Amino acid sequence: MNKLTFMDFFSGIGGFRIGLERAGFECVGYCDNDEYANKLYRNYFNTEKEHFFYDITTINTSELPDFDIFCGGFPCQSFSIAGKRLGFEDTRGTMFFEVARILRDKKPRYFILENVKGLLNHDGGKTFQTILKILSDLGYQTQWQLLNSKFFGVPQNRERVYIVGCYGTECTGKIFPLSGSGSENTKENSIRQLQETDGNSQGNRVYTTDGISSCLTSSGGGQGGKIGLYFINKPRYDEYKPSDIVETLKVAGDTPLMRVRNGTKKGYDEAGPGDGINLAFPKSKTRRGRVGKGCSQTLDTACNMGTIDNYRIRRLTPLECFRLQGFPDDMVKTAKELGLADVHLYKMAGNAVTVNVIEAVARKLAEVVYGAT
């Protein structure tokens, strides 16, 4: 049986591609306007015989190759709580209409779309209703579900809405609901745990430094974001008052705990080994949870999240951020060989989709597709 093909739109560094290829589908082309992401994509994947388009808005659909599956995480800033949430009034929000244009003209059998959780309730839900109606008017049966990456083998609290469509009446099975237990890649990318204290408390678990990081978030700068490592009891305070950053607490044994001011009525969150510390506080107005208990907060384009490593806080490395999105380690090796700077790698990781989740959705689609043919 021939493999079904897909076109990788808003391709970034290939999160959709890896997930769909693992599920047995074949890529015929890609499209993205980020020159650094494209450089890594071209050099990591075998794209010599594939079609490439730089800008989706200028694509003449008659020049597109035939493909069975449209996939892409269309720009989400206009729907995210981190942005102004202008929706379709924001030009980035209108990228969905480019998606609709290609679906209308090419009529691929299936599509897989990804976007932020904020899309669901933007403008009281009207934006999402509009998207579903447009897809329906184009002849697609659609299914959707909100999935969290932390249930698919990576310790990152990343909620995203996934929309799967099938053209016409040929759909014979359901993709959703989908649970994390259905992912076949959970063990491969799980945290490497050295020891556990205090029973089953996630906040006191200790992980290897060369394993998958359990902590990261977003914006650049901030404590630890620019300087690398620093001791908990010697924080930098050139931007913030020491009392607003961290307080070292004396506890039984040698386990360091910290109190991090979180900008809420609660005042402080406690953090220990294996927890994530948001290095963007207190400037962030949208991120209220400052400490992730054994799990990273949502990664975005600057990955400004720290982890408690022995008695110090350090920013996560690009390798750890790529792992939090389920990407293979050799992709970072390729990026380093190409001379790509860390700032670009952080942006790539933050803009990417979680490979494990895409793979789980794609495998479910493969069951439907190959079971129906």
Report the catalytic residues: 76
Cβ contacts of residue 354 below 8 Å, gap of 6+?
15, 149, 152, 154, 156, 158, 160, 325, 326
> Where exactly does CATH 3.40.50.150 map onto the chain?
5-186+353-372
CA-to-CA distance for 188 and 22, rounded, in angstroms?
Answer: 14
Which region among 67-81, 97-111, 179-193, 223-237 has the lowest average model confidence (pLDDT)?
223-237
Backbone phi, psi, residue 161, to 5°? -95, 135
Mean pLDDT of 83-101: 73
DSSP for 328-342, written as a single string:
-HHHHHHHHHTT--H
Residues sharing a CB contact under 8 Å with residue 361, sequence separation 6 or more, in sequence order: 19, 112, 147, 162, 164, 175, 178
More confident: 113 or 181: 113
Please state the rounded mean pLDDT for residues 43-47: 95
Predicted confidence at residue 40, as pLDDT, reads: 98
Amino acid residing at 26: E
Mean predicted confidence (pLDDT) in 219-231 = 32
Other CB atoms closer than 10 Å to residue 94's CB: what's the count? 16
Tokens of 242: 């020491």
Whole-structure pTM value: 0.75
Give buried/exposed letters for 164-183 (b at 16+ CB in 10 A, else e): bbbbeeebeeebeebebeeb
**5-186+353-372 topology per CATH:** Rossmann fold (3.40.50)
Residue 188 pLDDT > 70, yes or no?
Answer: no
